[in-house]
Chains A and B, each alone.
Chain A
Amino acid sequence: MTATAVSIAGVTPREIVTPRSIDELAAIVRELHDARKAFAFVGGGTALDLGNSPRALDVAVRTSALDAIVDYAPEDQTITVEAGATLADLDRVLARHGQMLPLDVADRERSTIGGVVATNRYGRRRQRYGTAKDLIVGVSIVRPDGVRARGGGKVVKNVAGFDLPKLAVGALGTLGAIATVTFRLYPIPEAARAVVLRFGREAALGAALHEMIVRRLEPESVALYDYRALVVTFAGTQRGTDAQARTLVDEIAPAHGVEAAPLSELERESYEQRERAVRRDGSWRFRVIAPPAEPVATAANAVPATPLAVPVAYPLLGIALHAHSEETLAAPPDAAPDWPVHDLRETVADRTHNRGHVVFDAIPAAARGLVDPWGPTPPSFALMRTLKQNFDPHGLCNPGRFIGGL
């Protein structure tokens, strides 16, 4: 037991416990379940503002002591780790074998595997590598009744049984505790190139992006900063990355009247720092998620009356594996509690023909309860409610925090 203060979406638990092993985690959950006490799981604490305030919270269970690397098979490019291991822990182990888990989530020293999976966090490299859903191959959980269960496995290809790993991703710990995760890994590319495109008109941006698709370039990431600078990275072999960077700078950019230049490692890092800060700071933080064809400015111009900055957007391309969309990460400056969230949602829904949505990653304390962080529930919500009921019939596991109060 520790006294470290934790507040989960505005609610402070009465007690915090830190199990030393997965057996202990299961025993604690079973005990809480049998005593009908409400509980939630805490990893690195980087996403505690996400979601609704829990309806009840007796005990927060910290995973920080569950940080073992259970099994690393470099020749097979798979690793099994306990949920409390941080991304930085993993980076260090994997780098020795020239491998990586390509989830470029901010704050790697604090972000834990369990947290990243539970919140389905990802970064720019989603363009090539996808999200945790595409990288997870196995999971073991502790169900809300304290029973341990496994899904998936340790091999990269496996369709045996129902896909518990997919379900664990993004469920925000409402179906139980993530105990261990097995990922498929990727080799660290031997070469990387970054290019920045600076443009004045949005039309030029759209045209340049389109031509990257037509010319079949395969960027590792595409990120848009402040609606002015598009940073494109290529990763792979020396010749492959050089050739792609040249095509973009010497051919595509000039054809569309866009200024383009290679980015140094240092400059690229400064953009990424900016991005990390955006994802970490600010009392209001939200993401607009929309189909790729919707205007990049969906979020930027959504609420004309409110000063709204869009520091980072991912206009993903339809080229490599996951490539498929546009996500806009938008963060308004510190706005008042009565900031017109509803206008934002309405405008986004309108512009995307009800196919885009807004998720709040952080809401200032004064506005909590006034704003639904998730927004309207999807058409399949009745199934989601039944699923939650099947896993957690007593409503003890992170109750109310997820979409629609699940």
Chain B
Amino acid sequence: MTAIAVSPAFDHFAAIVGAKNVVGSPAELRTYECDGLLGYRVRPELVVLPGTTEEVAACVVLARELGMPVVPRGAGTGLSGGALPSEGCVVIGLARMKKILEVDLANRVARVQPGVINLDITRALQADGWYYAPDPSSQSVCTIGGNVAENSGGAHCLKYGFTVNHVLGLTLVTPDGAVVALGSQAGEPDVLGYDLTGVVVGSEGMTGIVTEVLVRILRSPQRTQTLFATFPSTDEAGDAVSRIIGAGIVPAAIEMCDALAIEAIVAATDVDWPLDVGALLLMDADGVEEEVDEVAARARTHVEAAGALEIRAPKDDAERLLAWKGRKAAFAAMGRISPNYYVQDGVIPRKEIGKVLREIAALGARAGLRVANVFHAGDGNLHPLVLYDGRIPGQEHAAEEVGGEILRVCLRYGGSVTGEHGVGHDKACYLGEQFSPDDLATMQMIRTTFDPERRFNPEKMFPTPRLCGDKPGAYVPHATETAGEAARG
């Protein structure tokens, strides 16, 4: 390495992983300054890219000896700043550990390394009729390690559950450098003792570094039927969701887009959705053929009763996939209608969707900002996208303020500040509004079980005065975003 101002720790880490797998020059470190939460940037001291569990463990031990904070990183697609570096930290990136180590159909599990792309598991299995269920919108670029850290969701977790419901066991390098097997070894359904696997999933990189994941794989359903319906406004669409859920129907997914989101998606993708509507729903029913047909027909009557303008069923798989591609590209599509956006991830009781969307619109209007909504309606997980122009002084701040007020609305309705993106850096200051000091102290007891020094991903999730006083940096598009490969949400 020839760059000036390279960390003195460079050689120590290079001795473990090789110099080509340590990033130390300021120019190269820029890539790692942020994740999908683009408004915050911190340059790490170093980035190391280990290739094995043993190398990860050695790096962790070294970081401990050097007293460096550790920030784990997958693909950097997270939206809450979970992989935002801390001052003086070493980022341990798992991108090189991307092997599917074992597929065991008889036990319905696959053992994968953390750098494996979510969708690659399904790609490896689908010819035989199996798949991995959790499907975050970024699934074509995000990694399983990141999914584990954030307990990622996705559209179909309405029926199938979140990452935590599909991870049976883990190999964890703990903050003291020990390599520990957690949970199931080969697909046995129950394990003895405390559910440490359930704790590590969703712990946002604060419990160590996961180097192997044992995931559940499922048989793909006999049939999937998709329903596409448009409505005059989000009120009728919200009512349709309530009617479907209230009728005891358990769809695989129900997604909603409002007019602004539709406009962006139509501009950015090949979907032929109408532009003169107030909202649309995209619903999947899956399962046994006879049942799916019946359930889809019933859902259709509820959608009609709620006042749908138009109801369509995709004529073939290609059209179905196109609709879903449109939905999953929604966040990236926002660039077509706004220079910048700030996304939130609040959850509300699903019966309140219509009411809460109106409150969100009012909050946006008051700040002079537009808010697009594209979200997991079936489980009340909102994704309001506050649109702003970062070149106009004060707008970014105003957008964040609106985002924060939206989270407060979610809490007022008895909800949560995050349904699937994680608390991270972004929402740490709001966690203290959702939980009491005693609740947070109890969570710290769990955290310090793994990391008594609180050196792993410090300054995430838990509110601190320093953190909550920070100001966002200037917006710069992230590399994956400008390359057009990241679909977020």
Contact = CB atoms under 8 A, between A and B. Distances in A.
Contact of A290 (B151, B188, B250, B293): B188
A155 interface: yes
Contact of A243 (B199, B289, B415): B289
Given A187-B248, A216-B219, A237 B290 contact: yes
B322 interface: no
Interface string A259-280: 0000000000000000000000
B232 interface: no
B415 to A, nearest CB: 5
Contacts of A324: 108-109, 168, 187, 189, 216
A91 interface: no
Interface stretch (A108-116, A303-311, A336-344, A375-383): A375-383
Given A73-B349, A161-B423, A391 B417 contact: no
Contacts of A157: 153, 157, 162, 347, 376, 379-381, 416, 419-420
A256 B239 CA distance: 48
B288 A236 contact: yes
Contact of B290 (A75, A171, A240, A382): A240
B199 A167 contact: yes
Contact of B434 (A98, A153, A378): A153
B461 interface: yes
B186 interface: yes
Contacts of A242: 290
Given A160-B434, A216-B221, A327-B190, A237 B295 contact: yes
A353 interface: yes
A75 B291 contact: no
B202 interface: yes
Interface string A225-264: 0000000000011111111100000000000000000000
A384 B221 contact: no
A359 B157 CA distance: 32
A7 to B, nearest CB: 24
Interface string A127-167: 00010011000000101000111110111111111111011
Given A159-B150, A161-B439, A321 B449 contact: no
A192 interface: no
B414 A148 contact: no
A327 B439 contact: no
Q: Which of B151, B288, B289 has the most CB of A within 10 A?
A: B288
A362 B302 CA distance: 50
B151 A218 contact: no
Interface stretch (A41-49, A52-60, A196-204, A398-406): A398-406
Nearest to B379: A157
A159 B151 contact: yes
A374 B248 CA distance: 40
A368 B360 CA distance: 61
A319 interface: yes
A379 B108 contact: no
B66 interface: no
A293 B106 contact: yes
A148 B442 CA distance: 9
B201 to A, nearest CB: 8
A169 B106 contact: no
Contacts of B448: 390
A302 interface: no
Contacts of A402: 193
A364 interface: no
Given A134-B161, A150-B436, A239-B294, A161 B195 contact: no
B418 A159 contact: yes
B7 interface: no
A136 to B, nearest CB: 10
Given A147-B438, A380-B181, A155 B250 contact: no
A295 to B, nearest CB: 11
Given A157-B153, A381-B193, A244 B199 contact: no
> Which secondary structure dominates chain B's binding surface?
mixed
A325 to B, nearest CB: 3
A321 B161 contact: yes
Nearest to B201: A163
Given A166-B164, A293-B107, A380-B193, A148 B349 contact: no
Contacts of B427: 160
A159 B422 contact: yes
Contacts of B181: 378-380
Interface string B217-231: 111111000000000
A120 interface: yes
A292 B107 contact: yes
Interface string B430-469: 0100111011111101111110000000000100000000
Given A155-B347, A162-B443, A374 B192 contact: yes
A158 B420 CA distance: 7
B104 A240 contact: no
Contacts of A316: 189
A101 to B, nearest CB: 15
A130 B193 contact: no
A323 interface: yes
B138 interface: no
A93 to B, nearest CB: 16
A319 B192 contact: no
Contacts of A377: 192-193
A75 B415 CA distance: 15
A324 B162 CA distance: 16
A240 B295 CA distance: 10
A134 B157 contact: no
B428 to A, nearest CB: 10
A72 interface: no
Contacts of B351: 73, 75-76
A318 to B, nearest CB: 3
B194 A171 contact: yes
Interface in A160-214: 160-164, 166-167, 169-171, 175, 186-188, 190, 213-214
A291 interface: yes
Contacts of A327: 189-190
A240 B249 CA distance: 13
Given A166-B164, A170-B194, A292 B108 contact: yes
A383 B443 CA distance: 15
A351 interface: no
A159 B419 contact: yes
A229 B403 CA distance: 57
A130 B187 contact: no
Contacts of A159: 150-151, 153, 162, 202, 416, 418-423
A159 B422 CA distance: 6
B180 interface: yes
A375 B290 contact: no
Nearest to A150: B439
A387 B194 contact: yes
A283 interface: no
B188 A318 contact: no
B203 interface: yes
A384 B180 CA distance: 12
Interface in A286-301: 289-293
Contact of A164 (B165, B191, B220, B442): B442
What are the 6 A-B residue pairs with the smallest beta carbon separation, nearest first?
A240-B291, A187-B248, A325-B189, A166-B198, A318-B108, A293-B106
Interface of A: 73-78, 98-99, 120, 126, 130, 133-134, 141, 143, 147-151, 153-164, 166-167, 169-171, 175, 186-188, 190, 213-214, 216-218, 236-244, 289-293, 316, 318-327, 352-357, 359, 374-375, 377-384, 386-388, 390-391, 402-404, 406
18 contacts: A75-B245, A76-B351, A78-B349, A143-B442, A147-B441, A153-B414, A157-B381, A157-B419, A159-B150, A160-B416, A166-B199, A216-B219, A216-B220, A216-B288, A289-B189, A290-B188, A355-B185, A390-B446
Given A188-B248, A217-B288, 14 more contacts: A150-B435, A154-B349, A156-B350, A157-B380, A163-B202, A170-B194, A218-B288, A237-B294, A242-B290, A325-B107, A325-B187, A325-B188, A325-B190, A357-B188
